[in-house]
Structure 1
Protein backbone atom coordinates (compact mmCIF):
# COMPACT_ATOMS: atom_id res chain seq x y z
CA UNK A 1 0.00 0.00 0.00
CA UNK A 2 2.85 2.40 0.83
CA UNK A 3 4.47 1.68 -2.54
CA UNK A 4 1.25 2.52 -4.33
CA UNK A 5 0.86 5.82 -2.42
CA UNK A 6 4.49 6.71 -3.11
CA UNK A 7 3.99 6.00 -6.81
CA UNK A 8 0.82 8.11 -6.90
CA UNK A 9 2.62 10.99 -5.18
CA UNK A 10 5.61 10.70 -7.52
CA UNK A 11 3.32 10.58 -10.58
CA UNK A 12 1.37 13.59 -9.31
CA UNK A 13 4.59 15.58 -8.84
CA UNK A 14 5.80 14.49 -12.28
CA UNK A 15 2.52 15.62 -13.88
CA UNK A 16 2.70 18.98 -12.12
CA UNK A 17 6.30 19.42 -13.27
CA UNK A 18 5.31 18.60 -16.86
CA UNK A 19 2.28 20.87 -16.63
CA UNK A 20 4.37 23.75 -15.27
CA UNK A 21 6.90 23.30 -18.07
CA UNK A 22 4.12 23.33 -20.67
CA UNK A 23 2.44 26.43 -19.26
CA UNK A 24 5.73 28.30 -18.82
CA UNK A 25 6.66 27.63 -22.42
CA UNK A 26 3.31 28.29 -24.07
CA UNK A 27 1.07 30.15 -21.67
CA UNK A 28 -2.33 28.78 -20.79
CA UNK A 29 -5.19 31.02 -21.91
CA UNK A 30 -5.46 29.27 -25.27
CA UNK A 31 -5.20 25.73 -23.90
CA UNK A 32 -8.20 23.54 -23.11
CA UNK A 33 -8.19 20.61 -20.70
CA UNK A 34 -8.25 18.34 -23.76
CA UNK A 35 -5.12 20.08 -25.12
CA UNK A 36 -3.37 19.77 -21.77
CA UNK A 37 -4.30 16.11 -21.32
CA UNK A 38 -3.10 15.31 -24.82
CA UNK A 39 0.19 17.14 -24.34
CA UNK A 40 0.82 15.48 -20.95
CA UNK A 41 -0.20 12.09 -22.36
CA UNK A 42 -2.79 11.51 -19.69
CA UNK A 43 -6.56 11.49 -19.45
CA UNK A 44 -8.77 14.40 -18.47
CA UNK A 45 -9.87 12.33 -15.47
CA UNK A 46 -6.22 12.24 -14.37
CA UNK A 47 -6.11 16.02 -14.62
CA UNK A 48 -9.24 16.18 -12.48
CA UNK A 49 -7.35 14.35 -9.74
CA UNK A 50 -5.00 17.35 -9.69
CA UNK A 51 -7.72 20.02 -9.74
CA UNK A 52 -11.45 20.38 -10.38
CA UNK A 53 -11.25 22.74 -13.36
CA UNK A 54 -8.82 24.28 -15.82
CA UNK A 55 -8.74 27.44 -13.72
CA UNK A 56 -7.93 25.49 -10.56
CA UNK A 57 -5.35 23.46 -12.47
CA UNK A 58 -3.61 26.62 -13.68
CA UNK A 59 -3.67 28.12 -10.18
CA UNK A 60 -2.28 24.90 -8.68
CA UNK A 61 0.42 24.74 -11.36
CA UNK A 62 1.37 28.34 -10.60
CA UNK A 63 1.68 27.48 -6.91
CA UNK A 64 3.78 24.44 -7.85
CA UNK A 65 6.05 26.58 -10.02
CA UNK A 66 6.66 29.13 -7.29
CA UNK A 67 7.24 26.42 -4.67
CA UNK A 68 9.84 24.80 -6.93
CA UNK A 69 11.39 28.20 -7.74
CA UNK A 70 11.58 29.16 -4.06
CA UNK A 71 13.33 25.89 -3.21
CA UNK A 72 15.87 26.50 -5.98
CA UNK A 73 16.45 30.13 -4.97
CA UNK A 74 16.93 29.26 -1.30
CA UNK A 75 19.29 26.41 -2.20
CA UNK A 76 21.36 28.88 -4.23
CA UNK A 77 21.69 31.25 -1.26
CA UNK A 78 22.01 28.64 1.49
CA UNK A 79 25.78 28.29 1.39
CA UNK A 80 26.53 32.00 1.13
CA UNK A 81 27.36 33.73 4.41
CA UNK A 82 28.68 37.10 3.24
CA UNK A 83 25.75 39.59 3.28
CA UNK A 84 27.26 41.50 0.33
CA UNK A 85 26.97 38.35 -1.75
CA UNK A 86 23.65 37.06 -0.41
CA UNK A 87 21.37 39.78 -1.82
CA UNK A 88 22.84 39.68 -5.35
CA UNK A 89 22.78 35.88 -5.25
CA UNK A 90 19.20 35.86 -4.06
CA UNK A 91 17.89 38.35 -6.62
CA UNK A 92 19.92 36.80 -9.43
CA UNK A 93 18.50 33.38 -8.51
CA UNK A 94 14.97 34.85 -8.52
CA UNK A 95 15.63 36.26 -11.98
CA UNK A 96 16.96 32.94 -13.20
CA UNK A 97 13.94 31.09 -11.79
CA UNK A 98 11.59 33.46 -13.60
CA UNK A 99 13.59 33.53 -16.82
CA UNK A 100 12.04 30.23 -17.91
CA UNK A 101 8.62 31.88 -18.15
CA UNK A 102 7.69 32.86 -21.71
CA UNK A 103 6.19 36.24 -22.49
CA UNK A 104 2.93 34.49 -23.29
CA UNK A 105 2.87 32.83 -19.86
CA UNK A 106 3.53 36.16 -18.15
CA UNK A 107 0.77 37.83 -20.18
CA UNK A 108 -1.67 35.04 -19.31
CA UNK A 109 -0.59 35.14 -15.65
CA UNK A 110 -1.24 38.88 -15.44
CA UNK A 111 -4.68 38.47 -17.01
CA UNK A 112 -5.77 35.58 -14.76
CA UNK A 113 -6.48 36.83 -11.23
CA UNK A 114 -5.76 33.61 -9.27
CA UNK A 115 -2.33 33.16 -10.87
CA UNK A 116 -1.52 36.86 -10.62
CA UNK A 117 -2.38 36.70 -6.90
CA UNK A 118 0.02 33.76 -6.46
CA UNK A 119 2.76 35.77 -8.18
CA UNK A 120 2.02 38.84 -6.06
CA UNK A 121 2.03 36.77 -2.85
CA UNK A 122 5.40 35.31 -3.83
CA UNK A 123 6.71 38.80 -4.59
CA UNK A 124 5.71 39.88 -1.08
CA UNK A 125 7.47 36.82 0.34
CA UNK A 126 10.58 37.65 -1.70
CA UNK A 127 10.47 41.25 -0.45
CA UNK A 128 10.33 39.97 3.14
CA UNK A 129 13.29 37.74 2.37
CA UNK A 130 15.24 40.69 0.96
CA UNK A 131 14.38 42.61 4.12
CA UNK A 132 15.75 39.75 6.25
CA UNK A 133 18.94 39.71 4.20
CA UNK A 134 19.31 43.48 4.62
CA UNK A 135 18.62 43.25 8.35
CA UNK A 136 21.29 40.53 8.65
CA UNK A 137 23.79 42.71 6.77
CA UNK A 138 23.04 45.75 8.95
CA UNK A 139 23.39 43.65 12.12
CA UNK A 140 26.76 42.31 10.97
CA UNK A 141 28.01 45.80 10.06
CA UNK A 142 28.39 44.95 6.36
CA UNK A 143 25.59 47.34 5.42
CA UNK A 144 25.05 50.87 6.60
CA UNK A 145 22.03 51.52 8.75
CA UNK A 146 19.16 51.69 6.30
CA UNK A 147 15.45 51.33 6.61
CA UNK A 148 15.25 47.68 5.58
CA UNK A 149 11.48 47.86 5.06
CA UNK A 150 11.94 50.72 2.58
CA UNK A 151 14.76 48.96 0.73
CA UNK A 152 12.68 45.78 0.55
CA UNK A 153 9.71 47.79 -0.72
CA UNK A 154 11.89 49.29 -3.46
CA UNK A 155 12.92 45.75 -4.41
CA UNK A 156 9.31 44.52 -4.34
CA UNK A 157 8.13 47.44 -6.48
CA UNK A 158 10.77 46.69 -9.09
CA UNK A 159 9.99 42.97 -8.94
CA UNK A 160 6.36 43.73 -9.77
CA UNK A 161 7.40 46.06 -12.63
CA UNK A 162 9.70 43.34 -13.93
CA UNK A 163 6.87 40.78 -13.74
CA UNK A 164 4.41 43.09 -15.48
CA UNK A 165 6.84 43.81 -18.31
CA UNK A 166 7.27 47.49 -17.45
CA UNK A 167 11.02 47.26 -17.02
CA UNK A 168 11.46 45.42 -20.30
CA UNK A 169 9.29 47.97 -22.12
CA UNK A 170 11.17 50.91 -20.60
CA UNK A 171 14.72 49.55 -20.77
CA UNK A 172 14.83 46.53 -23.08
CA UNK A 173 16.27 44.41 -20.25
CA UNK A 174 14.97 40.87 -20.00
CA UNK A 175 13.81 39.72 -16.57
CA UNK A 176 17.07 38.01 -15.59
CA UNK A 177 19.14 41.09 -16.53
CA UNK A 178 16.70 43.35 -14.69
CA UNK A 179 17.09 41.27 -11.53
CA UNK A 180 20.88 41.46 -11.82
CA UNK A 181 20.69 45.25 -12.17
CA UNK A 182 18.30 45.49 -9.22
CA UNK A 183 20.69 43.42 -7.12
CA UNK A 184 23.67 45.59 -8.09
CA UNK A 185 21.89 48.87 -7.39
CA UNK A 186 20.35 47.68 -4.13
CA UNK A 187 23.59 46.22 -2.81
CA UNK A 188 25.64 49.29 -3.78
CA UNK A 189 23.10 51.52 -2.07
CA UNK A 190 23.22 49.76 1.29
CA UNK A 191 26.87 48.77 1.62
CA UNK A 192 28.74 50.45 4.45
Structure 2
Protein backbone atom coordinates (compact mmCIF):
# COMPACT_ATOMS: atom_id res chain seq x y z
CA UNK A 1 0.00 0.00 0.00
CA UNK A 2 1.51 3.32 -1.09
CA UNK A 3 0.81 6.64 0.57
CA UNK A 4 0.10 9.78 -1.40
CA UNK A 5 2.91 12.29 -1.04
CA UNK A 6 1.83 15.90 -1.45
CA UNK A 7 4.38 17.92 -3.39
CA UNK A 8 5.75 21.03 -1.73
CA UNK A 9 3.94 24.20 -2.76
CA UNK A 10 5.60 26.47 -5.27
CA UNK A 11 6.15 30.12 -4.28
CA UNK A 12 3.27 31.03 -6.65
CA UNK A 13 0.94 28.56 -4.91
CA UNK A 14 1.91 29.86 -1.46
CA UNK A 15 1.19 33.42 -2.61
CA UNK A 16 -2.13 32.34 -4.15
CA UNK A 17 -3.19 30.52 -0.98
CA UNK A 18 -2.38 33.64 1.03
CA UNK A 19 -4.58 35.79 -1.20
CA UNK A 20 -7.32 33.16 -1.16
CA UNK A 21 -7.22 33.04 2.64
CA UNK A 22 -7.53 36.85 2.84
CA UNK A 23 -10.51 36.79 0.47
CA UNK A 24 -12.29 33.98 2.31
CA UNK A 25 -11.65 35.54 5.73
CA UNK A 26 -13.16 38.79 4.46
CA UNK A 27 -16.19 37.41 2.61
CA UNK A 28 -16.72 33.78 3.57
CA UNK A 29 -16.75 31.01 0.98
CA UNK A 30 -20.19 29.41 0.70
CA UNK A 31 -21.47 31.83 -1.95
CA UNK A 32 -18.29 31.79 -4.06
CA UNK A 33 -17.87 29.38 -6.98
CA UNK A 34 -14.53 28.27 -8.42
CA UNK A 35 -15.23 30.61 -11.34
CA UNK A 36 -15.74 33.48 -8.86
CA UNK A 37 -12.51 32.63 -7.06
CA UNK A 38 -10.51 32.36 -10.27
CA UNK A 39 -11.84 35.73 -11.46
CA UNK A 40 -11.20 37.45 -8.13
CA UNK A 41 -7.70 36.02 -7.82
CA UNK A 42 -6.84 36.60 -11.50
CA UNK A 43 -5.89 33.00 -12.13
CA UNK A 44 -7.30 30.03 -14.01
CA UNK A 45 -9.51 27.33 -12.53
CA UNK A 46 -6.82 24.82 -13.44
CA UNK A 47 -4.44 26.74 -11.16
CA UNK A 48 -6.94 26.38 -8.31
CA UNK A 49 -7.24 22.67 -9.08
CA UNK A 50 -3.51 22.32 -8.34
CA UNK A 51 -4.37 23.32 -4.76
CA UNK A 52 -7.45 21.11 -4.31
CA UNK A 53 -9.70 18.86 -6.39
CA UNK A 54 -12.91 20.77 -5.67
CA UNK A 55 -14.24 24.01 -4.19
CA UNK A 56 -15.20 22.14 -1.03
CA UNK A 57 -11.70 20.70 -0.60
CA UNK A 58 -10.23 24.11 -1.34
CA UNK A 59 -12.41 25.61 1.41
CA UNK A 60 -11.21 22.96 3.87
CA UNK A 61 -7.60 23.63 2.94
CA UNK A 62 -7.92 27.40 3.34
CA UNK A 63 -9.79 27.15 6.66
CA UNK A 64 -7.19 24.68 7.95
CA UNK A 65 -4.42 27.04 6.84
CA UNK A 66 -6.02 29.95 8.71
CA UNK A 67 -6.43 28.06 11.99
CA UNK A 68 -2.95 26.49 11.78
CA UNK A 69 -1.38 29.88 11.09
CA UNK A 70 -3.35 31.50 13.91
CA UNK A 71 -2.26 28.82 16.39
CA UNK A 72 1.39 29.19 15.36
CA UNK A 73 1.29 32.98 15.68
CA UNK A 74 -0.32 32.76 19.14
CA UNK A 75 2.26 30.21 20.30
CA UNK A 76 5.03 32.52 19.08
CA UNK A 77 3.50 35.35 21.15
CA UNK A 78 3.51 33.33 24.36
CA UNK A 79 6.92 31.72 23.79
CA UNK A 80 9.30 32.55 26.60
CA UNK A 81 6.67 34.10 28.88
CA UNK A 82 7.40 32.65 32.32
CA UNK A 83 4.59 34.26 34.34
CA UNK A 84 1.55 32.02 33.90
CA UNK A 85 -0.93 34.87 34.42
CA UNK A 86 0.76 36.90 31.68
CA UNK A 87 0.88 33.79 29.47
CA UNK A 88 -2.90 33.26 29.73
CA UNK A 89 -3.63 36.94 29.14
CA UNK A 90 -1.31 37.03 26.11
CA UNK A 91 -2.78 33.80 24.74
CA UNK A 92 -6.34 35.14 24.92
CA UNK A 93 -5.29 38.53 23.51
CA UNK A 94 -3.68 36.67 20.61
CA UNK A 95 -6.86 34.68 20.01
CA UNK A 96 -8.88 37.90 19.96
CA UNK A 97 -6.47 39.47 17.48
CA UNK A 98 -6.61 36.45 15.17
CA UNK A 99 -10.41 36.41 15.27
CA UNK A 100 -10.59 40.06 14.30
CA UNK A 101 -9.21 39.00 10.90
CA UNK A 102 -12.26 36.78 10.29
CA UNK A 103 -15.58 38.21 9.14
CA UNK A 104 -18.92 37.11 10.58
CA UNK A 105 -19.70 35.52 7.20
CA UNK A 106 -16.53 33.44 7.36
CA UNK A 107 -17.44 32.13 10.83
CA UNK A 108 -21.01 31.40 9.65
CA UNK A 109 -19.76 29.50 6.60
CA UNK A 110 -17.22 27.52 8.63
CA UNK A 111 -19.92 26.52 11.12
CA UNK A 112 -22.42 25.54 8.41
CA UNK A 113 -20.09 23.22 6.44
CA UNK A 114 -19.35 19.96 8.31
CA UNK A 115 -15.71 19.46 7.18
CA UNK A 116 -14.68 23.03 8.10
CA UNK A 117 -16.75 22.87 11.30
CA UNK A 118 -14.66 19.82 12.28
CA UNK A 119 -11.48 21.86 11.80
CA UNK A 120 -13.04 24.67 13.82
CA UNK A 121 -14.04 22.37 16.68
CA UNK A 122 -10.59 20.77 16.72
CA UNK A 123 -9.11 24.28 17.07
CA UNK A 124 -11.45 25.09 19.99
CA UNK A 125 -10.48 21.81 21.71
CA UNK A 126 -6.79 22.61 21.24
CA UNK A 127 -7.34 26.05 22.80
CA UNK A 128 -9.09 24.45 25.79
CA UNK A 129 -6.19 22.01 26.16
CA UNK A 130 -3.64 24.84 26.19
CA UNK A 131 -5.64 26.70 28.84
CA UNK A 132 -5.82 23.49 30.91
CA UNK A 133 -2.01 23.25 30.71
CA UNK A 134 -1.64 26.88 31.78
CA UNK A 135 -3.99 26.35 34.73
CA UNK A 136 -2.11 23.22 35.82
CA UNK A 137 1.18 25.14 35.61
CA UNK A 138 -0.33 27.91 37.74
CA UNK A 139 -1.57 25.44 40.35
CA UNK A 140 1.86 23.74 40.52
CA UNK A 141 3.57 27.11 40.91
CA UNK A 142 1.18 28.14 43.67
CA UNK A 143 -0.14 31.08 41.64
CA UNK A 144 -3.65 29.59 41.23
CA UNK A 145 -5.95 27.80 43.64
CA UNK A 146 -6.02 24.01 43.39
CA UNK A 147 -8.88 23.57 40.93
CA UNK A 148 -10.24 20.98 38.53
CA UNK A 149 -8.12 22.22 35.60
CA UNK A 150 -9.84 20.10 32.94
CA UNK A 151 -13.31 21.30 33.96
CA UNK A 152 -12.28 24.97 34.06
CA UNK A 153 -10.53 24.58 30.71
CA UNK A 154 -13.62 23.01 29.11
CA UNK A 155 -15.74 25.86 30.46
CA UNK A 156 -13.24 28.32 28.97
CA UNK A 157 -13.35 26.33 25.72
CA UNK A 158 -17.13 26.66 25.55
CA UNK A 159 -16.81 30.41 26.10
CA UNK A 160 -14.17 30.62 23.37
CA UNK A 161 -16.49 28.71 21.04
CA UNK A 162 -19.32 31.11 21.95
CA UNK A 163 -17.05 34.04 21.08
CA UNK A 164 -15.86 32.43 17.84
CA UNK A 165 -19.39 31.66 16.65
CA UNK A 166 -20.57 35.15 17.59
CA UNK A 167 -23.35 33.83 19.85
CA UNK A 168 -21.86 35.20 23.06
CA UNK A 169 -20.78 38.53 21.61
CA UNK A 170 -24.20 39.13 20.00
CA UNK A 171 -26.03 38.38 23.23
CA UNK A 172 -23.70 40.50 25.36
CA UNK A 173 -23.38 43.21 22.66
CA UNK A 174 -19.60 43.34 22.91
CA UNK A 175 -16.71 42.91 20.47
CA UNK A 176 -14.63 39.73 20.27
CA UNK A 177 -11.72 41.60 21.83
CA UNK A 178 -13.88 42.76 24.76
CA UNK A 179 -15.17 39.20 25.22
CA UNK A 180 -11.64 37.74 25.31
CA UNK A 181 -10.53 40.44 27.75
CA UNK A 182 -13.47 39.58 30.02
CA UNK A 183 -12.69 35.86 29.74
CA UNK A 184 -9.09 36.57 30.76
CA UNK A 185 -10.27 38.57 33.77
CA UNK A 186 -12.75 35.86 34.74
CA UNK A 187 -10.12 33.15 34.57
CA UNK A 188 -7.31 35.05 36.24
CA UNK A 189 -9.40 36.58 39.03
CA UNK A 190 -11.34 33.36 39.63
CA UNK A 191 -8.20 31.22 39.82
CA UNK A 192 -6.12 33.61 41.93
CA UNK A 193 -4.87 32.12 45.15
CA UNK A 194 -5.90 34.32 48.07
CA UNK A 195 -3.05 35.32 50.32
CA UNK A 196 -3.50 33.81 53.76
CA UNK A 197 -4.28 36.27 56.48
CA UNK A 198 -1.53 36.61 59.10
CA distance in 2, matches of 1:178, 1:15: 33
CA-atom RMSD in angstroms: 1.3
Considering fraction of residues, name the structure with more helix: 1
What is residue 53 of structure 2 aligned with on the other side? Answer: 52
C-alpha deviation, 1:163, in angstroms: 1.8
Does structure 2 retain, via aligned residues, the 8 Å contact 1:84–1:191?
no
Q: How many residues align?
A: 187
C-alpha deviation, 1:83, in angstroms: 0.6
C-alpha deviation, 1:23, in angstroms: 0.3
Runs of 4+ in 1 over 4 A off after TM superposition: none
What is residue 4 of structure 2 aligned with on the other side? Answer: none
C-alpha deviation, 1:15, in angstroms: 1.6
133-142 or 10-19: bigger deviation = 10-19
CA distance in 2, matches of 1:9, 1:134: 41
C-alpha deviation, 1:12, in angstroms: 2.1
User: Structure 2, unaligned stretches of length 5 or more?
Assistant: 1-6, 194-198
CA distance in 2, matches of 1:135, 1:14: 40
Does structure 2 retain, via aligned residues, the 8 Å contact 1:27–1:106?
yes
CA distance in 2, matches of 1:191, 1:51: 48
- The 5 A counterparts of 1:3-42 are 8-42=9-43
| Secondary structure, aligned partner of 1:50 | coil
- TM-score norm. by structure 2 comes to 0.90
C-alpha deviation, 1:102, in angstroms: 0.6
CA distance in 2, matches of 1:9, 1:143: 48
Question: Larger radius of gyration, structure 1 or 2?
Answer: 2
- The 5 A counterparts of 1:80-95 are 80-95=81-96
Does structure 2 retain, via aligned residues, the 8 Å contact 1:162–1:178?
yes
- TM-score norm. by structure 1 comes to 0.93
CA distance in 2, matches of 1:177, 1:114: 29
What is residue 63 of structure 1 aligned with on the other side? Answer: 64
